[in-house]
Structure 1
Amino acid sequence: MSSRSTPIDLEYDKFVPPDGNETEKPLVILHGLFGMKRNWLSLAKAFLRDLKRPVYTLDLRNHGASPHAEPMTYDAMATDVLHFCEKYSLRDISLLGHSMGGKVAMTVALSPELPDDLLTHLIVADIAPSKGALSPEFQGYVDAMKKIESSGVTTRQEAQHILAPYEPDAMTRAFLLTNLLPQAHDHHHHSLRFRIPIDVIGNAIGDIGGFPYEPGERTWEGPTLFIKGDRSRYINNRNIPIAKEFFPAMVLEHLDASHWGTFPFLL
């Protein structure tokens, strides 16, 4: 990873157990591309109930309510997460990331800036520490979002109509359109625009498909769980050995799910 970039302050939700503990052994959750902390609300509450540990869900840069900033690289996003943990005095954390958030979590684990007492467990949902172009549908989503904004749509039905040729699955469309918000022009007129900076994300598609380390360059020896969706190709026989090079203690578990459906509540 390159020299540490300037961090931004991430927006977050905090779920605290009855004993009031906010900093000891928390679970920190990172969403995927086009996601936000709100996607994890139901499971965060379930983790709080079952684990009786504090749970933090973060909005990564350029997502949700967090600031818009460049660069949108894994280096920068990991630096934001490290800054968040330092700012709120978190230690002995378990870090869970899905998709892009999983790559951010792995970058945190492999970072030379990682404090010795920060990370105890790593959970990576349906992504591997490999490099390659994102699936073409992601660029299609960006193109559709740009078209929605330039069209000045005023209803979600209009936005759905534009997005449908790019994404046939209604649940995935609904997930993507959670980013759509009304923007008032005056008291009588408004249009819908995306809360995320589409141009910034579009320009970062190549970086999001990458990974900042080469196999053998860095390792993290702690307990690591990879969760593979069996109807997804993101974790496969080609990149599992790469994951083992970075994370020699890794365990791989399977779910009967697609990439977006690894955690169905994300949709």
Structure 2
Amino acid sequence: MLRSTVGRTAVHTPRAVRTYASAPTPVQLAFEKQAPGNLTSSKAPLVVLHGLYGSKQNWRSLAKGMAAKLGREVYTLDLRNHGHSPHKRECSYEDLAADVNAFIEKEQKLDDCIVVGHSMGGKVAMALALGGCDALSRLVVVDIAPGVGKISPEFRAYLDAMKEIDDAKVMSRKEADTILQKTEPDLGVRQFLLTNLDRASPSDPYQFRLPLHFLSNAIDEIGHFPYAPGEKVFEKPSLFLKGSKSKYINSRNIPIIKQFFPDSQLETLDAGHWVHAEKPKEFVELLDRFCKE
């Protein structure tokens, strides 16, 4: 599976932070909703945010299991410039968080929810919590910390490979996979990236539904984080889930997590960066326990 979606923690460079009020008009996000059986639950629903190059599709199977086990509705979102959500040049974490805030409070009118974010989606979830979202009562962040770092080189290479596939106008996923093999030897990673391929009809070539030009321009922004330690605090309960084989939550940034999220707990599972995909049963059990506390 994908190895990482953001770079390692680095020194934060202060910059002006926009609020939701000053951010550009939020976009309406595509989403799927999983219900716990045929019942309507009165429990706080989960709102799930994917990582870079991901989509709600990657969470579909697990979201069904989460809804059944937790007895809660589960919303899986496509962040802007991903999945079936709108494409915009602006895609800072303030922009992404404003989109999610609008989805929660204006579109769905939720008065209580638990937000779960993996990697880049985890940074969006943290920015949402720190920027202020009244409905957000609990936060779950999967294998990422609130730090600044460079995007791993392979993620820039993936963009180049996807552009090459678009230019080749391939007529089969096998052709696309052959091109992608030159950049990424791991089958699981290639399969993940190729979930973004689509075409209008069987007679049309496959194209990536990701706006590659916007993502190329924003790749450095994705490694950023909008707040400096001590600037904002989210005092509600937070759960950070770390993969034992991943370095994205580490001894250097755990103290920073506590500065932003004083009421946080850290759990570790025997997994890499994709904790929820590698250990789905254990992941859902930890979620269930945290939600009941």
Category of TM-score, reference length = shorter chain: over 0.9
Amino acid at match of 2:259: E
Q: How far, CA to CA, are the matches of 2:270 and 2:111 in structure 1?
A: 33
Tell me the CA shift for residue 260 of structure 1.
3.3
Tell me the CA shift for residue 19 of structure 1.
3.5
Tell me what 2:278 maps to: 264
Cα RMSD (Å) of the superposition? 1.7
Task: Indicate if the aligned counterparts of 1:123 and 1:224 stay in contact, CA closer than 8 A.
Answer: yes
Tell me what 1:7 maps to: 26
Task: Indicate if the aligned counterparts of 1:5 and 1:75 stay in contact, CA closer than 8 A.
Answer: no
Candidates 183, 199, 216, aligned match of 1:182 = 199
Aligned residue for 2:195, secondary structure, equals helix
Tell me what 1:124 maps to: 141
Amino acid at match of 1:90: L
Task: Calculate the TM-score normalised by the size of structure 2.
Answer: 0.84
Change (3 A) 1:257 1:181: same
Please, which runs of 5 or more residues in structure 1 have no aligned partner?
none
Please, which runs of 5 or more residues in structure 2 have no aligned partner?
1-16, 281-293
Tell me what 1:75 maps to: 94
Matched, 1:240 2:254: yes
Q: How far, CA to CA, are the matches of 2:118 and 2:222 in structure 1?
A: 13
Q: How far, CA to CA, are the matches of 1:166 and 1:247 in structure 2?
A: 38
Q: How far, CA to CA, are the matches of 1:15 and 1:140 in structure 2?
A: 34
Q: How far, CA to CA, are the matches of 2:79 and 2:136 in structure 1?
A: 18
Candidates 207, 224, 237, aligned match of 1:210 = 224
Tell me what 2:205 maps to: 191
Tell me the CA shift for residue 183 of structure 1.
4.1
Aligned residue for 1:43, secondary structure, equals helix
Tell me the CA shift for residue 258 of structure 1.
1.5
Task: Indicate if the aligned counterparts of 1:74 and 1:107 stay in contact, CA closer than 8 A.
Answer: yes
Change (3 A) 1:122 1:62: same
Q: How far, CA to CA, are the matches of 2:196 and 2:35 in structure 1?
A: 27
Candidates 130, 133, 137, aligned match of 2:154 = 137
Candidates 35, 52, 59, aligned match of 1:33 = 52
Tell me the CA shift for residue 165 of structure 1.
2.4
Q: How far, CA to CA, are the matches of 2:61 and 2:279 in structure 1?
A: 8
Q: How far, CA to CA, are the matches of 2:276 and 2:183 in structure 1?
A: 21
The number of equivalent residue pairs is: 259
Matched, 1:48 2:67: yes
Task: Indicate if the aligned counterparts of 2:272 and 2:278 stay in contact, CA closer than 8 A.
Answer: no
Amino acid at match of 2:197: L
Amino acid at match of 2:120: M
Candidates 116, 119, 124, aligned match of 1:104 = 124
Task: Indicate if the aligned counterparts of 2:35 and 2:64 stay in contact, CA closer than 8 A.
Answer: no
Task: Indicate if the aligned counterparts of 1:255 and 1:262 stay in contact, CA closer than 8 A.
Answer: no
Task: Indicate if the aligned counterparts of 1:229 and 1:262 stay in contact, CA closer than 8 A.
Answer: no
Judge which range, 254-263 or 204-213, deviates more. 254-263
Aligned residue for 2:33, secondary structure, equals strand
Amino acid at match of 1:120: S
Change (3 A) 1:166 1:52: same
Aligned residue for 1:63, secondary structure, equals coil
Aligned residue for 1:225, secondary structure, equals strand
Task: Calculate the TM-score normalised by the size of structure 1.
Answer: 0.92
Candidates 211, 233, 236, aligned match of 1:219 = 233
Change (3 A) 1:199 1:24: same
Judge which range, 128-137 or 1-10, deviates more. 1-10
Q: How far, CA to CA, are the matches of 2:34 and 2:160 in structure 1?
A: 36
1:151-199 per-residue CA deviation (whole Å, 9 max, x = no partner) reads: 2221111111111122111011000000011245xx8x42110011011
Tell me the CA shift for residue 133 of structure 1.
0.4
Aligned residue for 2:206, secondary structure, equals strand
Q: How far, CA to CA, are the matches of 2:275 and 2:35 in structure 1?
A: 27
